[in-house]
Structure 1
Amino acid sequence: MSYFAVFLPMKDEEKSKAFRPAHLSFLEEKEEEGFIFAKGRFADGSGGLVIYKGEIMEQVEELVKQDPYVVKGARDYEIREWVMSSKAVLPE
């Protein structure tokens, strides 16, 4: 199992607002299926980051292409394989 950091930079703010519920529902579904390690938005509003779990980059890219943000043109995406050096415990 590998990790892939997916950057979702803002492309269209209005579309992003409109499709946010569908995007969050999509991420929740993928998280329940075991494909998501972490997710969140950037504090400056420029987009967000999702760390997917997968076997190969192409598998993750196929998932990312199903994200309503990407499908509807609200966000671009960039995928990089990410090597975790240690697992931090984040406060609640």
Structure 2
Amino acid sequence: MYYILFYNYVDNIIEKRVPFREAHLALATSFVESGELLLGGAFANPADGAILIFKVENKAQVEAFVKQDPYVQNGLVTSWNIREWSVVVGAAL
């Protein structure tokens, strides 16, 4: 099953994320290596949020990512939402 995690960021995220970026990327990389996280990245112009696309058995696995994310733990994410996603075109991984 596919899920999209939506993040909304604080203002000035580019500067504020610096102390937490390495740990955030390490967490994301661990989920990529386990095959759970397929794609992720921030919005540009403005950098006010991000999406991460997961392929997992259930929503709880995405929630586990959120709970561990240094961006969430340190208040850089103002809100987040998880949506189940039905892929209808393109190459499903």
Bin the TM-score by the shorter chain: 0.7 to 0.9
2:38 match: 37
**Size of the alignment, in residue pairs?**
87
Runs of 4+ aligned residues of structure 1 deviating over 4 Å after TM superposition are none
Q: Percent identity?
A: 40
Matched, 1:80 2:83: yes
Counterpart of 1:85 in 2: which secondary structure?
coil
1:10 match: 9
1:58 match: 60
Unaligned runs of 5+ in 1: none
Aligned-pair CA distance for 1:80: 0.6
- TM norm structure 1: 0.82
Trace 1:14-33 onto structure 2 (pairs within 5 A). Answer: 14-33=15-34
What is the CA deviation profile of residues 7-49 of structure 1, one whole-angstrom value per residue up to 9, with x for unaligned ones?
1110363542321221111111110011111111101200211
Give the Cα–Cα distance (whole angstroms) in 1 for the partners of residues 26 and 89 of structure 2. 29
Contact 1:15 1:72 in 2 (8 A): no
Aligned-pair CA distance for 1:59: 2.3
